[in-house]
Amino acid sequence: MLHVSTRGEAPALSFSDALLAGLARDGGLYVPKAWPTLTAGEIAGFSGRSYADVAERIVGALADGDVEGSALSAMIAEAYATFRHPAVCPLNQIGDNLFVLELFHGPTLAFKDVAMQLLGRLMDHVLKLRGERATIVGATSGDTGGAAIDAFKGLERVDVFILYPQGRVSDVQRRQMTTVEADNVHAVAVEGTFDDCQNLVKALFNHHAFRDEIGLSGVNSINWARIAAQVVYYFTSAVSLGAPGRKVSFAVPTGNFGDVLAGYVAKRMGLPVERLLIGTNSNDILARTLATGAYEMKGVHATTSPSMDIQISSNFERLLFEVHGRDGAAVRRLMQSLQQSGRFEIAAEPLSAIRAEFDATGIDEAATSAEIGRTWREAGYLLDPHTAVGVAAARGGLARDPATPMIVLGTAHPAKFPAAVKAASGVTPSLPAHLGDLVEREERFTLLPNDQGAVEAFVRAKARAVRSAAA
Ligand SMILES: Cc1ncc(COP(=O)(O)O)c(C=O)c1O
Ligand SMILES: N[C@@H](CCOP(=O)(O)O)C(=O)O
């Protein structure tokens, strides 16, 4: 199956080509030309199957034969063997019809591991088959960077550069990026916000000469394969609560809109989902957009859920493409307006199509902290601040529809954010044993200005150094 760009002006690509391309050459994001669908019988058949089995079916349907079946099975088995829980992504009940889907049992304690452990293996596999190398440049507000570094460290065919906003990630998140000893990994602190880092990455992709020279690839959720891998846990969790015979709703702490978009994709593939709830922190651009129809940037605030301190919510573009009837020209107009004036307006029809599937709630800092305290007192369950945003949004959804089970995506382990968790609950969460000595490990990083030329010069120099050392 081919993949098309949301801006309609880039060549259509296979799954493997889209995997290596990252961002489309017209600045858009790749999506499959058509959504594969599963029958209710097939979905029911997932009951009692392992996470890896379901992943084989879902990722297999999305890759549509482009990755050889036995190789895909082996990569999936290896990727999910790195998780510390036998269920990979277990469900935990914390209230009446209220569940947390724990996505943080992977190596770096964040939901990013679920996709990234597979992405690393997929990219390595495709590059080996083609005899090619790639240079990955990614942006992180805290979790993507650590997960990517863990998944790609030591791979011979890939150099990885992760841009993070200096001083705006938690200590644990920073150390997970800066203490890994591998020559192909480079942690880069940027003097700016996450949006600046993400803009730099997109600018590098849009500089075609540079992109081709270094074989640029991406690991952010602009890369379609990231979303494809995240669709799986919507199926496993819904089926464990009775789908397809029973509908469920999902509440998703949201920043770059990748995780909640994966829920939308699951629904398009046939999973009976009632509502998708977007929970934002005080960087509430998506909640304002759903309320007013105007996507309007107002400046980013630092919060206790730093991974969601985002204003340019990249994957929203994929949803805009769908609700505009897959009209690339319409998406281009909206994105041009965003670039020129920091805002765009969604017309009545596409807006009502969005509202037909999604609700959105902004949860401020006080409510986030109150939710951590409440869930600890009432359920004896410790939430990280991002998941707490999701739980607080979920309670609103349950008040409107108490009969439908609500699954909150638990996106990070509380020990990644000990200060906020302790302040809210009085409990200091501890890191799992494999990260017990994280604070003693030596840090290595490079500080760069928020400047495309400086980043390109650094990447060019380091990527070449690694290549010539490997040659
Ligand atoms: C812990 C955590 N929760 C939620 C999010 C938001 O996810 P998304 O950017 O896919 O909306 C992120 C960052 O992506 C995160 O790291
Ligand atoms: N919250 C993310 C930001 C990047 O999002 P991505 O899903 O597009 O990689 C992070 O923690 O880095």
**Per-residue pLDDT tens over the stretch 64-94:** 999 999 999 999 999 999 999 999 999 999 9
Note the pLDDT tens digit of each residue in 137-155: 999 999 999 999 999 999 9
- Two tokens at 28? 């858009």
- Is a pLDDT exceeding 90 seen at residue 468? no
Q: What is the pLDDT of residue 471?
A: 43
With vertex at residue 176, the alpha carbon angle to CA 214 and CA 81, rounded to the nearest 5 degrees, is 90
Q: Whose CA is nearest to atom 2 of ligand 1?
A: 411
How much distance in Å is there from the Cα of 308 to the middle of ligand 1? 6
3-class secondary structure, 275: strand
The pLDDT value given to residue 467: 52
Does residue 255 have its Cβ closer than 6 Å to ligand 1?
yes
d(CA 310, ligand 2 centre) in Å:
9
Over residues 55-72, the mean pLDDT reads 97
Q: Determine the pLDDT at residue 152.
A: 97
**Cis, bond preceding 86 (omega within 30 deg of 0):** no
- Alpha-carbon distance of 29 to 342, in angstroms, equals 19
Share of the chain above pLDDT 70, in %: 98
- Centre of ligand 1 to C-alpha 31, Å, is 20
Report the distance separating Cα 139 and Cα 135, nearest Å. 13
% of the chain residues with pLDDT over 90: 98
> What pTM does this model have?
0.97
387 close to 408: Cβ distance less than 8 angstroms? yes
ipTM over 0.90: yes
Please, what is the average pLDDT of the chain?
96
Q: Is 173 in the pocket of ligand 2 (CB under 6 A)?
A: no
Which atom in ligand 2 lies closest to the alpha carbon of residue 143?
Answer: 11
**146 ligand 1 Cβ < 6 A:** no
Q: How far is the CA of 307 from the centre of ligand 1 (A)?
A: 6
Nearest CA to ligand 2 atom 1: 307
The residue with tokens 């989902």 is 273
| DSSP three-state, residue 219 | coil
**449: DSSP letter:** -
267 is catalytic: no
- pLDDT of residue 235 exceeding 50, the answer is yes
Pocket of ligand 2, candidates 109, 114, 144: which has the most ligand atoms within 8 Å of its Cβ, to mutate? 144
